[in-house]
Structure 1
Amino acid sequence: MWKPALAMSATMVLAAPAIAQRVTIDQGALQGASDGPSTAFRGIPYAAKPIGPNRWRAPQPAPHWTGVKAATRYGPDCSQAPFPPDAAPIRTTPQEDCLYLNVWQPKGTQPSAKLPVMVWIYGGGFVNGGTSPAVYSGKNFARDGIVFVSFNYRLGRFGFFAHPGLEKEGFGGNFGFMDQISALKWVQKNIAAFGGDASNVTVFGESAGGMSVNTLLQSPLARGLFGKAIIESGGGRDRVVPIPTMAEGAKAADRFAPGDNAAQLRAIPAKRITGDLSLSKMNQPDYSGPMVDGKTVLGQSVDSAEAGLYARVPVMIGTNSADGFPGTDDKTKVFDGFGQDKAEAMKLYDPNGDKPGFQVATDASADAAMIEPARAIARALAPHQPVYLYRFAYQMPGDWAERVGGAPHASEIPYVFDTVAARAVPMIPAEAPVATLTHRYWVNFAKCGSPDCGGEVPAWPKATATDTSVQMIDANGARHETDPLIARLDFTERRATQ
């Protein structure tokens, strides 16, 4: 989740607001706090502390307590190295002890309310991120009748580590995904106490969070834990972001810590395990990231969708208009990378020869990494279930958006959450209707499985197996139209599948 245009410095957790409502869950009683139109319950442990003997183990049962537990502050976000350009900086001091979640409910909600539930999975390349950023507040979802949940999951080598010394004990390597599944099980067991309907859960996430939603849709371990899914910039092509095998992951882990003694591995200082692994330093030979393990990850997202391995639930999927990761502003270098397709690429991406190199690099990487894979997944799922394909194209204020020439990666999030005012870049009046409309689509989908239900927003038809149209969301509102990028995406698809 790379957002350099919206930089702001991280701070410690803000002081808790006034005490408010109580609920009782399976683990014990909780005291929440008023948060605008909602009551927020923060820092709820959904599993045992993943430290000591629980390091590099599947999540263990959550603790119970007597009395009333204050749930008024975020729990620590998971261990990670700093990534200063992030527009959604965490507001806690990250720790290895981090398996906490947060719940927002409409103020005054009773357990019998049976409200729709939305569960958020943050991005950050599986090495950064957390639930504490201000733009991730669930209070405006709660304002609009949603019980909102966000949770932390282990990152970096704490979350994705397939060491041979652990494999002998029968432990897998995708601990971060196991955490996500554990959090969703907690929701099924406890959300009714907050007035949520466990049979109406929508899971959604962006970037690594979107990739996580793709994983949950294909994982047999997640079946029945949610009924709808939203994938924001979730990638999906092996050619762009290869997913290693467990064997390859084991080699990376062994490079980090040679040997096969599990007790010694668990005694490694947490600071060394974190290292300098962050979004700016991800490609390290002793770190694998998520792996194909046959339980949580069955394969690349596009391949798994086309093979019919996804859960048959309504899906909303899309990307941003400038959703790329430009590594250069040298057009020659970009076009040379297309090899024998160079001439065709030049016609598609720079037909007049006057487009800035940074925008060319952004467009080409966005099509390959995000936009075309989203279209491919939508087409693969459309014959089997309701699917809604979108493109967020509102160009937010700021130099970065102007430089990339559209809506940058992750820039849709404050509009989805209706938290633009909490963003580092000052809000302008023109953004308010964009946030209102975008947020309403997401709320509608969670409530009834269709983003245009209720008739208060522009119509949004379902995708088809051969769709060449997309729901555009930009400064002019929303409309369903022939995809303006169809020629580029067809070109990208042909290169990805040849």
Structure 2
Amino acid sequence: MMTMIRYAALLACAAVPMTAAAETAPTEVTIDAGRIRGAVEGKVVAWKGIPFAKPPIGDNRWRAPQSIRWSGVKQTTEYGHDCMQKPFPSDAAPLGTEPSEDCLVMNVWRPAGAPANAKLPVMVWIYGGGFVNGGSSPAVYSGAKFAEQGIMFVSFNYRLGRFGFFAHPALTAAREGMLGNYAYMDQVAALQWVKRNAASFGGDAGNVTVIGESAGGGSAINVLTSPVTRGLFNRVVVMSGGGRAPLLPARKISVDQPQVPSAETIGLNFAKSVGVDGTGPDALRKLRALSADQVLQGLSMMQLFVPPGGVQTYVGGPIEDGTIVTGTPQSLLEAGRQARVPVMIGTTSADIGFGGAPTKDALFATFGAGASAARRLYDPTGNADIRALGAAVAADRGMTEPARYVAGMVARAGQPAYYYRFSYVADSVRATQPGGATHASDIPFFFDTVHAKYGAALTPKDAAMAQTINRYVGNFAKAGDPNGGTPARWTPYTPANNFLMDFAADGSARGGPDPWKAKLDLVAASNPAVQYRTIRTPVAVR
């Protein structure tokens, strides 16, 4: 362990030094929308709350992002509003600003001493939160540590809940542009903004890595597979983002399917719930005149864990629109329709999943012919708690095996795939998390913002692990290879070598064959399109 701590100290020494040049680093830059002024924050310069589109309010509610310009110099030293939502107390990354519909803003960090023509590699962060919560303002999402590695780091907000995913016949009839996935439209607009403006901050628009976690990880997979994002990125990092079928049905904009109503049908349900009838221009005016709270209706992550009942008034997330979303991740990967770029992908060791069964027999029966083998692998002593078993199986079906699947498909296409598992649990919470690293607990380690998460409870071992992971991810963003000045060699995954980098419980980075191969093979064999809808049991929240 002392080796890891010494290694962390060396990394700290190798970080971009504070110099006189950094202290006087220019904080004003010109982007395509106008001039902005940021601030020096230690070893980095940060610009926060940069508008990348007009506020999506009034007539711009449920429209693609609209371009914005301003005159004079805009002060961009504070985070803008996070997008409209109802925060919840157990959020792994509590918001730093008051939610609002006026939320389409960017944040940028770069090393303070970087010259204007530095051609810095760029990282773009997409937050998670089930598409109903989250924002770019949480302290654990600061890009400062990546900037200290010589990276231009970008984060942004995208619309959530009914503001981000919504359809209604009146919107379709209005012919105002793309429909349904307004959150994804925001994400595409953000990547286009980076393409146009990275050079203004010393960044290289030809060297962009998209990184996302949970719903953001699913969004990163959408970036990888969507036809509208081509040319906007060069590699992808997926943290607990699934990778086979979505957890929700593949819903269409206008076409009702058996037991899967269209987004328009659900939009009509919502309109009726707020007293709006009709499908013409007057109905659209009334919907856009609703207050933000009326549209929100208290929607948050907590409601997503409640079994559905009554009339459905929210589509639940991304919609298959035929433009941005053209299929499930699995169907697109198997058709070879993903971008040919390097991918880093993995999960936490006790990740989130949905599903379960009332008895062990019922649970293992879901493995079909592999039921006996699954019982031996998941419950070798026969003493495991049914809830814990259900959680483990659900996490493997929803997150762990799909991550391995994506790595295999990327490798099959001839691109490097770096497969990982985050098994480390911070010292201060280990006693309360005996099952392993929970969903989203990896974020402050990837960002090296563990000080913001754990404060005075942070230990040298925690800090060392964060610096190690942050270095691997930073290296990947720079050149598509996580190795370099790191403690263990990370070999690209192939189904033949089964190589996994485990950020292990003891604080080490340990590469080798995935010890979970046998049970993940059973999960894959029992797939096809595994559905996780027997019992909706929250395993972790985020």
Q: Which residue of 1 aligns with 2:221?
A: 214
Q: Which residue of 2 aligns with 1:61?
A: 67
The match for 2:331 among 293, 300, 303 is: 303
Distance 2:419 2:384 in 1: 28
2:426 counterpart SS class = coil
CA distance in 2, matches of 1:333, 1:97: 51
State how far apart, in whole Å, the 2-side matches of 1:229 and 1:401 are: 34
Q: Deviations over 1:112-159 (max 9, x none)?
A: 111100000000000000000000001111111010000000000000
| Mean Cα deviation higher: 254-263 or 437-446 | 254-263
Check conservation: 2:159, 2:182, Cα contact below 8 A: yes
C-alpha deviation, 1:304, in angstroms: 1.2
Instruction: State how far apart, in whole Å, the 2-side matches of 1:366 and 1:398 are.
Output: 24
Tell me the residue number matched to 2:299. Answer: 277
1:324 maps to what in 2?
352
- In the alignment, the residues of structure 2 paired with residue 346 and residue 465 of structure 1 have an alpha-carbon distance, to the nearest angstrom, of 24
2:501 is aligned to 471
1:369 to 398, 402, 412: 398
1:494 pairs with one of 525, 529, 541 = 525
Query: SS of 1:298's equivalent?
Result: coil
Match of 2:110 in 1: 105
C-alpha distance in 2, partners of 1:268/1:294? 29
3-state secondary structure, aligned to 2:171: helix
1:458 aligns with 2:518: no
Contact 2:246 2:328 in 1 (8 A): no
Query: CA, structure 1 residues 60+100, in 2 after alignment: closer, same or farther (shift >3 Å)?
Result: same
The CA deviation string for residues 230-274 of structure 1, in whole angstroms up to 9 with x for no partner, is 111111232744332223222111111143122122112210111
| Equivalent of residue 244 in structure 2, options 237, 243, 255 | 237
The code of the aligned residue for 1:251 comes to T
* Maintained 8 Å contact 1:394/1:406: yes
Partners in 2 of 1:359 and 1:401 — Cα distance?
17
CA shift at 1:353, angstroms? Answer: 1.8
User: Among 398, 403, 410, which residue is 2:440 paired with?
Assistant: 410
Q: Deviations over 1:267-323 (max 9, x none)?
A: 122101111211110266211111111111121112211210101111111111111
Partner of 1:291: 319
- Say which one has the larger Rg: 2
Instruction: Name which of structure 1's ranges 423-432 and 163-172 shifts more when overlaid on structure 2.
Output: 423-432
Shift of residue 344 of structure 1?
A: 4.0
The equivalences for 1:380-419 within 5 A come to 380-384=409-413, 385-397=415-427, 402-403=432-433, 405-419=435-449
Whether 1:267 aligns to 2:282 is: no
Residues 335 and 345 of structure 1 are in contact (CA less than 8 Å); yes or no, is this contact kept in structure 2?
Answer: no
Please give the alpha-carbon distance, in whole angstroms, between the structure 1 residues aligned to 2:243 and 2:453.
Answer: 28
- Does the 8 Å contact 1:334/1:361 carry over to 2? no
Which of 354, 379, 385 pairs up with 1:350? 379
In structure 2, relative to structure 1, the CA distance for the partners of 1:415 and 1:334 (3 Å cut) is farther
Structure 1 position 254 matched with structure 2 position 268: yes
In the alignment, what sits opposite 1:41? Answer: 47
The separation in 1 between residues aligned to 2:143 and 2:154, in whole angstroms, is 7
State the secondary structure of the residue aligned to 1:360. helix
Aligned residue pairs total 479
Deviation (angstroms), 1:361:
2.7
Q: Percent identity?
A: 48
Offset of residue 401 of structure 1: 7.5
Relative to structure 1, the CA distance from residue 188 to residue 491 in structure 2 (aligned partners, 3 Å threshold; closer, same or farther) is same
Q: Which amino acid aligns with 1:270?
A: A
Contact 2:172 2:179 in 1 (8 A): yes
The counterpart of 1:447, out of the listed 455, 462, 478, is: 478
Match of 2:166 in 1: 161
CA-CA distance at 1:36 after TM superposition: 2.3
Q: Which residue of 2 aligns with 1:177?
A: 184
Distance 1:323 1:120, change over 3 A: same
Separation of aligned partners in 2, 1:21 and 1:427: 32
Residue pair 1:200, 1:227 contacting (<8 A) in 2 also:
yes
**1: CA distance, partners of 2:169 / 2:222:** 24
Amino acid at match of 1:262: L
SS at match of 1:113: coil
**Uncovered stretches (5+) of structure 2, i.e. residues with no partner:** 1-23, 255-261, 273-277, 530-542
Q: CA deviation at 1:467?
A: 4.8
Q: CA RMSD in A?
A: 2.2
CA–CA separation in structure 1 for the residues paired with 2:400 and 2:60: 39
Shift of 1:460: 1.0
Amino acid of the residue matched to residue 396 of structure 2?
Answer: D
- The more displaced of 26-35 and 119-128 is 26-35
Maintained 8 Å contact 1:138/1:148 = yes
Q: 2:432, 2:443 → 1: CA distance?
A: 18
Deviates more, 1:90-99 or 1:384-393: 384-393
Q: Which residue among 346, 354, 360 is the counterpart of 2:389?
A: 360
Distance 1:333 1:125 in 2: 31
Q: Return closer, same or farther for 1:78/1:353 CA change in 2, 3 Å cut-off.
A: same
Distance 1:334 1:147, change over 3 A: farther
CA contact (8 A) 1:338 1:345 kept: no
User: Is the Cα contact below 8 Å between 1:37 and 1:140 reproduced in 2?
Assistant: no
TM-score by length of 1: 0.91
Distance in structure 2 (CA, Å) of the matches to 1:115 and 1:330:
53
Aligned residue type for 1:275: Q
| CA displacement at 1:487 relative to structure 2 | 1.4
1:114 aligned onto 2:115:
no
Give SS of 1:89's match.
Answer: coil
Number of the residue aligned with 1:6: none
The 1-side partners of 2:496 and 2:265 are apart by: 41
Deviation per residue, 1:207-228 (Å, 9 max, x gap):
0000001111111111101111
Residue identity opposite 2:447 in structure 1? F
- Larger mean Cα displacement after TM superposition, 275-284 or 188-197: 275-284
Q: Is the 8 A contact 1:401 1:408 kept in 2?
A: no
